[in-house]
Amino acid sequence: MGLADHMTEESPDTGRPNVDVSAAPAEAAADMPLLRIEGVSKTFGSFRAVDRLSLDIGAGEFFALLGPSGCGKTTLLRMLAGFETPDEGRVLLGGRDIAPVLPHERPVNMMFQNYALFPHLNVRDNIAFGLKRAGMPRAAIDTRVAEMVALVKLGGMEKRKPDQLSGGQRQRVALARSLARRPKVLLLDEPLAALDKKLRESTQLELMELQRRLGMTFIIVTHDQEEAMTMANRIGVMDAGRLEQVATPRDLYEAPASRWVAEFVGDVNLFEGEVTSHEHHRLTVATRDGGAIVVAEPRQPVTKSLVSVAIRPEKLKLSRRGPASDAVTSEAINRLEGVVTDVGYLGGSTVYKVKLDSGAVVRSSIANTSRLDRDTYSAGQRVVAWFRPDDCVVLER
């Protein structure tokens, strides 16, 4: 499929979430997701950057690849763009294997981390660059550029060179340039890393709005979990070239698949122990320090006896000791006593570090729902840390 085909074919239906895949073989298109990655590997020297990774991404999705630096997420993105060729495996776009297709012939565009704006061209020519290469007529280019400039709110800047723009404006030019060709898939490599916090947050919302409006498939690479959680409707967490878990932001946080994911995404308290009993949909886990934790039975049956129990800090609540607290906490089957060692006030919430009598240190995050300082604890105070069985996650690896 030539570039010109893809431009015209895509133009009329950008408002629809279902991207046209009519160019693909008919029998494959029926049940095939827009993008299918099948057992793809990439090795640099002796370093295996991506390791037999498989993933399906549907049309109109906002997908985030999240992972620490060096986990292979950027390599995977570069393989989708065509800058790296997989050593093994296939990449299917609309049912067609694009592994042998060169970058300039792929209906995929990329927004680079450092934007890679052409310094010798002004804003207009940067945006028009890909359109000219596609052989679009001049009038159509002008219309499309004007449309893109309006889309990213850069009116009046068309004649400026990249070095006359602020960081945020450059980011918009890069976005407009990569969207101008109306790619089937837009790849974004850490698109917001160079922006300051406030600008990053507003740009996140703008990107989401844009993606919804254009109905395009966005794949974003980021190491910032908040960014991934905010923007994406599905997140793939990567580590050491493999996908640890692919899930919605909520599932990723509330039902992590492994210890590694639980620790990487958000904060977590972990207790290791052995499953000792299993009745009435409740498991009892004997922790190493001699205590016992009661947890709700997970959906997937637990096969191992040695497990970790994960509890998020905001689900670990604190109470003062004494009889008064017992009435409030009828659900508090899991009660652990300890002493507050550190108090971190964050504005919206306060994080308490509690050293339990067993020696373990846990963190509890409590929302500051009231201006007056009721229900606060100070360092050195004895408290009861408690949590509901439903709020725990049992992890086998």
**In the complex, minimum distance from the CB of residue 108 to another protein, in angstroms, rounded to a whole number:** 8
Fill in the per-residue mask, 207 to 236: x = in contact with another protein (CB under 8 A), - = not in contact.
------------------------------
Nearer residue to another protein within complex by CB, 109 or 365:
109
Dihedral angle over CA of 241, 247, 250, 256, nearest 10 = -60
Q: Is 110 in the site for another protein (CB under 8 A)?
A: yes
First to last CA, the chain: 45
# binding residues, another protein (CB under 8 A): 31
Q: Is 6 in the site for another protein (CB under 8 A)?
A: no
Q: Is 102 in the site for another protein (CB under 8 A)?
A: yes
Which range in 128-136, 251-259, 294-302, 336-344 contacts another protein by CB under 8 A? 128-136
Which range in 141-149, 174-182, 263-271, 272-280 contacts another protein by CB under 8 A? 174-182
Residue type, 45: G
Among 25, 39, 167, 344, binds another protein (CB under 8 A): 167
Which range in 62-70, 107-115, 347-355, 377-385 contacts another protein by CB under 8 A? 107-115
Among 115, 264, 352, 386, binds another protein (CB under 8 A): 115
Q: Is 181 in the site for another protein (CB under 8 A)?
A: yes
**In the complex, minimum distance from the CB of residue 138 to another protein, in angstroms, rounded to a whole number:** 16
Among 83, 304, 326, 331, binds another protein (CB under 8 A): 83
Fill in the per-residue mask, 42 to 81: x = in contact with another protein (CB under 8 A), - = not in contact.
---------------------------------------x
CA-atom Rg of the chain in angstroms: 25
Q: Is 138 in the site for another protein (CB under 8 A)?
A: no
Q: Is 112 in the site for another protein (CB under 8 A)?
A: yes
Fill in the per-residue mask, 182 to 211: x = in contact with another protein (CB under 8 A), - = not in contact.
------------x-----------------
**In the complex, minimum distance from the CB of residue 110 to another protein, in angstroms, rounded to a whole number:** 5
Nearer residue to another protein within complex by CB, 175 or 395:
175
SS3 of the chain: CCHHHHHHHHHHHCCCCCCCCCCCCHHHHCCCCCEEEEEEEEEECCEEEEEEEEEEECCCCEEEEECCCCCCHHHHHHHHHCCCCCCEEEEEECCEECCCCCHHHCCEEEECCCCCCCCCCCHHHHHHHHHHHCCCCHHHHHHHHHHHHHHCCCCCCCCCCHHHCCHHHHHHHHHHHHHCCCCCEEEEECCCCCCCHHHHHHHHHHHHHHHHHHCCEEEEEECCHHHHHHHCCEEEEEECCEEEEEECHHHHHHCCCCHHHHHHCCCCEEEEEEEEEEECCEEEEEECCCCEEEEECCCCCCCCCEEEEEECHHHCEEEECCHHHHHHCCCCCEEEEEEEEEEEECCCEEEEEEEECCCCEEEEEEECCCCCCCCCCCCCCEEEEEECHHHCEEECC
SS3 of 157-211: CCCCCHHHCCHHHHHHHHHHHHHCCCCCEEEEECCCCCCCHHHHHHHHHHHHHHH
**In the complex, minimum distance from the CB of residue 103 to another protein, in angstroms, rounded to a whole number:** 4
Q: Is 148 in the site for another protein (CB under 8 A)?
A: no
Nearer residue to another protein within complex by CB, 3 or 283:
3
Rounded Cα gap, residues 172 and 195, in angstroms: 11
Nearer residue to another protein within complex by CB, 33 or 162:
162
Which range in 15-23, 30-38, 126-134, 357-365 contacts another protein by CB under 8 A? 126-134
Among 11, 13, 39, 133, binds another protein (CB under 8 A): 133
- Could you tell me how many residues make up the chain? 397
**In the complex, minimum distance from the CB of residue 190 to another protein, in angstroms, rounded to a whole number:** 11
Q: What residues line the site for another protein (CB under 8 A)?
A: 3, 81-83, 102-104, 109-110, 112-120, 129-130, 133-134, 161-163, 167, 170, 177-178, 181, 194
